Amino acid sequence: MKNVVRWCDWEGKGLEHCVCLEDNDGLTLEGVVVTTQDGLHGGHYRVRTDAAFRTREVRVDHVGGPSLYVAADGEGHWRDLIGDRALPELNGCLDVDIRMTPATNTLPIRRLKLKAEEISDIAVAYVPLPGQMAGDFLPRRVEQRYTHLTPDSRYRYEGLATGFTAELEVDAAGLVLDYPGVFRRVRTSGK
């Protein structure tokens, strides 16, 4: 199944084009983002999961900036493929959260399969924007909480270290429709 979606940032100054491909082997998210978040940025990302929606491979390339290429074994062990080293600080993380896109919120929503009013605390491999990092451009571990608010399409996302909270509305594929104050969907196609 293929979903093509577009988001803009809440102010309408940035745009993202994302293709979500799902087959028996898992999910692939691939997108191009032009954003004004934390300065001007353009980037490309590609995320691949296994059939259980556990993140297996992440590539992020910023135009004129750093690149990141990491892989996970599906059991929470990560490796930097550019620097050829283990990333033990990410042990236990099954999902990735890329700051420049709402697409990666789909991953825990699909993987966790929460029932209405069910809550789950998770650790994710968080990829900030380049200007938000000191040192190597690599994911860092952050704690998050997802709460399924209604039987179909509303989730509460919480960044446990930051106190940030947002109620996300998603479509039947788990892709974000609205992420108040941050992103909104501007175009959808099922082709």
> pLDDT value at position 191?
47
Mean pLDDT across 66-94: 97
Domain containing residue 115: 2-189
What percent of the chain clears pLDDT 90, i.e. is strictly above it?
84
The mean per-residue pLDDT over the stretch 55-81 comes to 96
pLDDT digits (tens, 9 = 90+) for 9-39: 998 889 999 999 999 999 999 999 998 877 7
Mean pLDDT of 133-145: 89
Res. 45: pLDDT tops 60: yes
**No. of helices (H) and no. of strands (E), the chain:** 1, 15
Q: How far apart are CA 109 and CA 5, in angstroms?
A: 17
Mean pLDDT, the chain, whole residue set:
93
Amino acid at 128: P
Instruction: Give how many domains the chain has, as a whole number.
Output: 1
